[in-house]
Amino acid sequence: MDVTLTVLGSSGGYSGAGKACSSYLLKNGEQSLVLDLGPGALSNLLKYLEPDGVGAVALSHMHFDHYADLYSLLTARRFWHCELPPLRVIAPSDMFDKLACLISRENRQKLKDLMEIMEWGDDVAVPGFRIRALRAKHPGESWMLRVSAGDRILCYSGDTEPCENLIDLAKGADLLICDSTFTSDRERKLEGHMLSSQAAQAAEEAGARRLLLTHIWPTLRESVAIEDAQAVYSSHVDVAREHMKIRLQ
């Protein structure tokens, strides 16, 4: 079994220089799942998959830095050279209302028809993956995900503050992709996010085998995030960078 994660976007809050916002491509053999699709991420995704090759998109929450390129992917699919089936999108219950805000009234149904929308709640199964979702501690309807691909487990925090649900979902995971918006360089409190040291504490507590720090604010230094994390986490830690590939093993 070959389960691989590719980072498509890692920037926190807004696109950094040469960096897209949150997005991760998970592949289990030929099956694919995209976790979040922030601004700039589609450009990176298209290096790996054509628009008709995306199996499903899972959105953690409806803040623009986590979903804005869904518009672009739907546009690419709508005008593809042949008709495509609706794209499976697993999302918070307010997803379509948020998405429709930018679309003229007469085109909203067309937009809806491009998707097969599934809401978070019970466990979700899509080809190649099973996903368990629990609520994050972040403004709005925000979810954290535990994705199983065969016997490999990945946990994605989306945006969150430290919370028990995160420890639950990350328990024994092969990889935890965790909100690390701020570092000890700038411990400014921003509601609903984590410091790199808190991400590391969560990984340590959950016994996650590997930690990927992400959503780092673009003006902060990645080296500080790594140092902060290594002080409290005894296993392997990296900072997410575009096109980084991690094989889950």
Nearer to Zn ion, 131 or 136 (CB): 136
Q: Where are the alpha helices (DSSP H) in 16-146?
A: 41-45, 64-67, 69-78, 95-100, 108-113
Distance CA 193, CA 51 (A): 31
Strands 56-58 and 31-37: parallel
Question: What contacts 104, CB < 8 A, 6 or more positions away?
Answer: none
For the bound state, the minimum distance from the C-beta of residue 38 to Zn ion, rounded and expressed in Å, comes to 10
Distance CA 237, CA 212 (A): 6
Give the torsion sign (CA, 61, 214, 244, 27): negative
Nearer to Zn ion, 86 or 140 (CB): 140
Interface with Zn ion (CB under 5 A), residue total 2
- Residues 19, 63, 146, 210: which binds Zn ion (CB under 5 A)? 63
Nearest residue to Zn ion, by Cβ distance, number only = 63
Q: Which stretch binds Zn ion (CB under 5 A): 18-26, 38-46, 118-126, 159-167?
A: 159-167
Amino acid at 164: E
Residue 159 binds to Zn ion (criterion: CB under 5 A): yes
Helix (H, G, I), strand (E, B) or coil at 160: coil
For the bound state, the minimum distance from the C-beta of residue 157 to Zn ion, rounded and expressed in Å, comes to 11
Residue 161 binds to Zn ion (criterion: CB under 5 A): no
Residue 137 binds to Zn ion (criterion: CB under 5 A): no
Nearer to Zn ion, 63 or 210 (CB): 63
Residue 238 binds to Zn ion (criterion: CB under 5 A): no
Nearer to Zn ion, 32 or 214 (CB): 214
For the bound state, the minimum distance from the C-beta of residue 179 to Zn ion, rounded and expressed in Å, comes to 9
Distance of CA 122 to the CA centre of its chain: 19
Nearer to Zn ion, 159 or 238 (CB): 159
For the bound state, the minimum distance from the C-beta of residue 95 to Zn ion, rounded and expressed in Å, comes to 14
For the bound state, the minimum distance from the C-beta of residue 140 to Zn ion, rounded and expressed in Å, comes to 7
Q: Which residues of 136-169 are buried (b: 16+ CB within 10 A; e: fewer)?
A: bbbeebbbbbbbbbeebbbbbbbbbbbbebbbeb
For the bound state, the minimum distance from the C-beta of residue 63 to Zn ion, rounded and expressed in Å, comes to 3
Per the CB < 8 A criterion, the answer to whether 24 and 7 are in contact is yes
Nearer to Zn ion, 63 or 98 (CB): 63
Residues in touch with Zn ion (CB under 5 A) = 63, 159
